[in-house]
Amino acid sequence: MNGKVLQASQEEVPVRGKIEVSPTAIASIVNEAVQTCYGVVGTVPKNFASGIAEMLSSERKRGVEVHVRDGKITIDLYVVVEYGTRIAAVAQSVKHVVRYQVEKALEMPVEAVNVHVQALRISNED
């Protein structure tokens, strides 16, 4: 090889289409990621009115809002946290897990993950 470096051809490949992922599909990924987080009981609707509509639907993505703008994803989560856990630590964990899972699955940047703790669940200790 006499010290020569081989370089790969850097031809530009024409774009022949695009891939779009719906916010609903992204919400499914988010929902699965949230369910694995320690201290999270579940997701809940943002407000009562949307909660009734969501209870009547078969969607599992209640409490997850996804917005895609300029190729960046913003996620709002409305969660219930187990009483007795460190709320800030649980929220930080949720943010990191959700960001990692979405970016891993979609190879798109997540601009923000906003975690809104809507309630605490107090377990019955009878």
Q: 């856990």: which residue's tokens?
A: 85
CA dihedral 25, 33, 71, 68 (to 10 degrees): 60
pLDDT tens track for 42-85: 888 887 445 544 544 445 568 999 999 988 999 999 999 999 99
Regarding pTM above 0.85, the answer is no
What confidence category does residue 102 fall into, taking pLDDT thresholds of 50, 70 and 90? very high
Estimate the share of the chain in helix, then strand, then coil, as percent rounded to the nearest 5.
35, 25, 40
Transcribe 22-60 into DSSP letters. -HHHHHHHHHHHHHTSTTEEEE--SSHHHHHHHHHS--S
Distance, in Å, from the CA atom of 20 to the CA atom of 9, rounded to the nearest integer, reads 29
Percent of the chain scored above 90 by pLDDT? 58
8 A C-beta contact, residue 51 and residue 62: yes
Q: What are phi and psi of 22, to 5 degrees?
A: -70, 150
What digits encode the pLDDT tens for the residues 22-35? 999 999 999 999 99
Cβ burial of 70 (10 Å; 0-12, 13-18, 19+) is: exposed
Domain ranges, ordered by start, for the chain: 23-121
The fold of the 23-121 domain, in CATH, is: Alpha-Beta Plaits (3.30.70)
CB 111 within 8 A of CB 75: no
User: Which candidate, 34, 97, 111, 29, places its Cα nearest to that of 67?
Assistant: 111
